[in-house]
Amino acid sequence: MKKRMRKAGILLVVFVAAIFVSSLFMNNGVDDQIIDLGDPTLPRISFQKEGRTVNALAGYVNEMDVTAMRDTITPLEANGTLQIQIEEFGNKITGVEYKVYSLNGEETYLEGKQKDISDETILLDLKKGLPDEVSEAVLEVILSMEEEQAHFYTRITRPDELSLKECLDFAQDFHAKTLEKNSQEELKNYLETSAEGDNTTYQTVTIHSDADHVTWGNLSPQVVEEPEWSIKESNSVYTSLLAQYQVTCAGDTGEIETYDVREFFRIRYVQGEIYLLDYNRKMEQIFDANQKVLDQNGILLGIASSDILYETNSSGNIVSFVRNGNLWTYNVKQNELAQVFSFSNIEGNDARSRCDQHNIRIISVEKNGSTAFAVYGYMNRGAHEGEVGVDIYYYDIEKNVVQEKAFIPSTKSFAIAEEELGKMVYYNQDQNLSYILAGGKFYKIDLTKDEQTVLAKNLEEGQYTVSADGHLIAYQTSGTINTAQEIKVLNLKTDEENAVAAKSGEAIRPLGFIGSDFVYGYLRQGDVGHTAAGGELFPMYELEIRNSENEVMKTYSADKIYISDVFIEENMMTLNRVVKSGETYTVTSQDYISSNEEKKTKSITLEAFSTDLKEKQMRLTYEKGISDTVPKILRPKQVVGKKPITITLNDKSKSEKYYVYGMGELVAIYDKAAYAIQRAEQISGVVISSEQAYVWEKGNRDLVYDTETAPFGNGEGKTSLQTCEEVMAAYNAKKVDLTGCSLEQVLYIINKGLPVIAMTDANHAILLTGYSMTDITYIDPDTASQNTVSIEQMSAMIAGSGNTFIGYMK
């Protein structure tokens, strides 16, 4: 805390001149002091592996949640040591400590202090940090400086059966050959060029792209600095590596343009042979206001992804947009382009300021163009450097200043904080109110009075829903997800609210928003039943959709069919439906509802266009066009009036989550394992539980495996499902509903030594105990027999239950 105060003080002193100069042109009556984010101050560490520097880590100023720190994995040496390289960046390191934790953070396997810290390279002896029965753990390295500490995290594992050197050699060689046009024929041996690859763009190049796109077409890139390599996964079956670097290329007009590049490899090494399992390279053009960024059609964004965030004011003459983790605002009438927020220093030569573990969400753009926004993730520099959280800002376009309103810290990683905090943070400038949903509590914070009000608490998943733009929230006011009698719908932009009540003797559940239309469902207690997997199910018998005027626009129901849950994507809602037989529900066909809400015609739209050299590019296109001129560049200063509020939330939510990692990053978070597995299948990724247990991995299983489970029959008065569950109770493992997974996907669970329960219909369970490349072995408790059938036959047997599986994990 002392260092934080000192840092803020230094920034104020250093930029006192800026205060004086700015007062010459800022509006009268502005008393706030101007500050600057300053340069990054924290050290970094990395590791030496196979003669290379890998896994460069950013430092955290607080202890973090161990279960959220799984970005990289670093194999130890054969003797249990690990060589660390410290980049001090002017800091005086006064001590080095280390701790090794279990993946769930509940056990400490090893802790110690490094005696010799005279060199920037130190050797840790961690051989006692991995007990015999443990294959992975989390290493925390703590660097002490004069007035604060920096914490660094990576997973560690033994080098046994790994092929890290061979995989790194291949990836670095492949990377180098992509920069050489004469290497196309050699690279073709590893590519799987097909229609899955999009050969109209350089933004995303994959293993399915053609060799010309893999070798950058005619862009002729020049690597600015050597890539930084990270090890994302490493086991006996495959190794996942990520290279991050920048390149420069000559653009369509000959200007030298800079790009951020992420190059991902998933590699298998078997008996001297290398297999490239997956390859994905993404490039994002750095939006440089000093180059040509306007043409007669709009704002040129160059080679970029198609999911760029942008919002316009009501008249369509001002747009705020996010590029490369920076926020920009363009005023077409004034021809002014403002870089509202950026962690990157102007020179761009400090890797710490380019750390990409943050994002920006535009909360709202007012009529005059003033913009409220939230920066969430790892804070690269400034007063919150080394912290993770959500920073709420307001850009006053008329005064050309940015003011921090509130900061909400988190002990989770960037991607998890983005999911848990970034999805529900709203700022109302007119009333100076902030709304935050975290840890099951919904807060209303009066930033003028520094007062917090809890509008709702003990909210669990399913008891609330938020609109895509964040300005609408609906939540149950009392009861549980299946018993609540009322839903409150709150418009955070206007502070108006409506209530929707359940019908007499029934319950009501919020489901989501299609645009600004609210979707909810009605439940009857008499409809409660269970799934074929044995889990309790409260389906809905009817859905309704209300518009922003609180009028019912649509009612949906179907005879003898119930809705278990829904998915909403843009203006389309998918209904997952079930039918009831006795007390058991089984899956039936899905149904779909599209929005009746008229889409507002925007005067500014995100569009793609192509050129011969750069191929597909993105542009913010103005309906009426703009002047092809050079804009005036503004770089608003941050101002500090009274001290911004730091909001500490009591987040003790322990609901089970399933995290999907792939392509070198966290891709998605689900509350159902089956949904996570299906997403991981699409991206050749892995699924991790909230306690960092491996739930599922693409391709990491034996081709033949048998749990060697002895046949058994039903106990007296027991159903086949009850009997199978009793057998599985002996494994002391956690039950996981895998309904909806494919048979191929659940084989991973069996390969972990844990049989899987499968339902052939609502009343008949069997236990899958082994598999080969063609067959499945199972035990049928009804006949107390062990049987083997083909994979095709088993798939047909379980299809009638809607692929109902019950898995177990440790």
Residues 519 and 517: their CA atoms lie apart, in Å, by 7
Given this model, what pLDDT does residue 30 score?
A: 40
DSSP 19: H
In the numeric block, the tokens 């029934």 are attached to 506
Among 152, 146, 147, 116, smallest CA distance to 44 is for 152
Q: 8: pLDDT confidence band, cut at 50, 70 and 90?
A: very low
Q: Edge-to-edge strand order for the sheet containing 298-302?
A: 298-302, 615-622, 604-611
Given this model, what pLDDT does residue 33 score?
A: 66
DSSP 21: H
Backbone φ and ψ for 645, nearest 5 degrees, come out as -80, 135
Q: What is the mean pLDDT of residues 262-289?
A: 97
Is pLDDT above 90 for 189?
Answer: yes
Identify the three-state secondary structure at position 795: helix
Among 213, 167, 233, 642, smallest CA distance to 405 is for 642
- Residue-wise pLDDT for 101-119, tens only, equals 999 999 999 999 998 888 8
In the numeric block, the tokens 């001149």 are attached to 17
CA distances (Å), 150 to each of 41, 98, 99, in order?
11, 12, 13
Among 287, 242, 246, 285, smallest CA distance to 267 is for 242
In the numeric block, the tokens 């239309």 are attached to 517
- Residue-wise pLDDT for 592-602, tens only, equals 998 765 556 67
Given this model, what pLDDT does residue 598 score?
A: 56
In 372-521, which residue ranges form alpha helices assigned H by DSSP?
414-420
CATH topology (fold) of 164-285: Nuclear Transport Factor 2; Chain: A, (3.10.450)
- Residue-wise pLDDT for 79-102, tens only, equals 999 999 999 999 999 999 999 999
CATH topology (fold) of 468-515+517-596: Lipocalin (2.40.128)
Q: Which residues contact 610 (CB under 8 A, 6 or more apart)?
A: 200, 616, 617
Q: 29: pLDDT confidence band, cut at 50, 70 and 90?
A: very low
DSSP 99: E
Q: What is the mean pLDDT of residues 741-758?
A: 97
- Residue-wise pLDDT for 246-261, tens only, equals 999 999 999 999 999 9
- Which two three-digit tokens encode residue 31? 């008393």
Residues 565 and 543: their CA atoms lie apart, in Å, by 11
Contact status, residue 676 vs residue 686, Cβ threshold 8 Å = no
Contact status, residue 427 vs residue 392, Cβ threshold 8 Å = yes
Given this model, what pLDDT does residue 10 score?
A: 41
Given this model, what pLDDT does residue 16 score?
A: 36
CA angle 465, 468, 471 (to 5 degrees): 80
CB atoms within 10 A of CB 114: 17
Residues 264 and 665: their CA atoms lie apart, in Å, by 10
Radius of gyration of the chain (CA): 28
**What is the residue-wise DSSP string for 406-439?**
EEEEESS-HHHHHHHTGGGEEEETTTTEEEEEET
User: Above pLDDT 70, what percent of the chain?
Assistant: 93
Q: For residue 359, list its beta bridge partners.
A: 376
Given this model, what pLDDT does residue 649 score?
A: 66
DSSP 39: -
- Residue-wise pLDDT for 208-241, tens only, equals 999 999 999 999 999 999 999 999 999 999 999 9
CATH class of the domain comprising 705-809: alpha beta
Given this model, what pLDDT does residue 207 score?
A: 98
Residues 59 and 39: their CA atoms lie apart, in Å, by 15
Residues 707 and 681: their CA atoms lie apart, in Å, by 24
Contact status, residue 562 vs residue 541, Cβ threshold 8 Å = yes
- Residue-wise pLDDT for 361-413, tens only, equals 999 999 999 999 999 999 999 999 999 999 999 999 999 999 999 898 999 88
Query: Which helix (H) or strand (E) segment is 793 a member of?
Result: helix 791-799
Is pLDDT above 60 for 743?
Answer: yes
CB atoms within 10 A of CB 612: 8
CB atoms within 10 A of CB 24: 6
Q: Which of 462-466, 547-551, 777-781 is modeled with the greatest confidence? A: 777-781
C-alpha torsion angle, residues 723, 725, 727, 733 (rounded to 10)? 180
Higher pLDDT, 637 or 304: 304
Residues 44 and 60: their CA atoms lie apart, in Å, by 10
Given this model, what pLDDT does residue 450 score?
A: 83
Domain boundaries defined on the chain: 2-34, 44-157, 164-285, 289-450+602-653, 468-515+517-596, 658-697, 705-809
Q: Which residues contact 582 (CB under 8 A, 6 or more apart)?
A: 762
Given this model, what pLDDT does residue 118 score?
A: 82
Given this model, what pLDDT does residue 642 score?
A: 63
CA distances (Å), 420 to each of 6, 43, 265, 468, in order?
31, 28, 29, 15
Average pLDDT, the chain: 91
- Which two three-digit tokens encode residue 705? 């495996």
Contact status, residue 763 vs residue 534, Cβ threshold 8 Å = no
Residues 98 and 139: their CA atoms lie apart, in Å, by 7
Q: What is the largest CA-CA distance in the chain?
A: 90
Given this model, what pLDDT does residue 19 score?
A: 34
Which stretch of 69-78, 655-664, 745-754 has the lowest confidence by average pLDDT?
655-664
Is pLDDT above 60 for 26?
Answer: no
Q: 647: pLDDT confidence band, cut at 50, 70 and 90?
A: confident
Q: What is the mean pLDDT of residues 559-563?
A: 96
Is pLDDT above 60 for 715?
Answer: yes
CA distances (Å), 245 to each of 220, 351, 354, in order?
15, 10, 10
Best CATH choice for the domain 44-157 from the list 3.40.50.150, 2.40.10.10, 3.30.499.10, 2.60.40.1930:
2.60.40.1930
Q: 641: pLDDT confidence band, cut at 50, 70 and 90?
A: low
- Which two three-digit tokens encode residue 577? 């439906």
